[in-house]
Amino acid sequence: MPSFNFPNPSLADPDGLLAVGGDLEPQTLLCAYKNGIFPWFDSDTPILWWCPDPRAILEFNNLYVSKRLARTLRGDKFQVTFNQDFDAVVKGCAYRPEEGTWITPEVAKAYGKFHQLGHAHSVEVWQNGSLVGGLYGVAIGGLFAGESMFSTVSDASKIALVALVDRLKHKGFQLFDLQIINDHTSMMGATEIPRDSYLARIKTAVKLKVSF
């Protein structure tokens, strides 16, 4: 059982903030994600839990791949793997010296443990044997909640996203949660839906018997 009891997600404030405190133990994270809640905070704040309205998702059939990106995908410039170097992907996502990051050492350790237990997963993009991009997220049943992505060369994070969508689609996942929309994911086809709609869909998704 989680050591932290979450309020009803529909009670989040207008910015999406639902709760403060608790911990990042695996059972707490599992409880949170199953109920559409995710942690997002920095080193200057306590743990903050969110359930924003509207909610960003990516419908598999809405994924936008430009002609230029399609050409790159057909080539052999990049190689994609899954769950081959989770810690390195998290480290890449955390390295944002100009912006700051919510992926503190505490968060990296918690999601590393979550990965070891089979709940968190990574997509790696390689070029000439070097990790140049990737993303990670949480899978529960037919839900995949994307957490963060990074790239050190052009198109690497897009390659990771396309590879992930293809995998989720063929594995039988039902809901790809992006939490909060941004310019990058919007360009790739992300949309927003009301929180109530999202919470209804997640109840069905997490019950599916599929695996990453």
Domains of the chain, by residue range, sit at: 9-50, 55-205
Q: What is the pLDDT of residue 1?
A: 58
- Confirm if 169 and 153 have CB atoms less than 8 A apart: no
Please tell me the total number of residues recorded for the chain in this structure.
212
Mean pLDDT of 69-95: 96
Q: Residue 52 and residue 109: Cα distance in Å, rounded?
A: 25
Q: What is the pLDDT of residue 2?
A: 60
Give residue 43's pLDDT band: very low, low, confident or very high (50, 70, 90): confident
- Residue 202 CA from chain centroid, whole number: 14
CATH of 55-205, picked from 3.40.630.70, 3.20.20.140, 3.40.50.2300, 3.40.640.10, is: 3.40.630.70
Q: What is the pLDDT of residue 98?
A: 67
Fold of 9-50: Alpha-Beta Plaits (3.30.70)
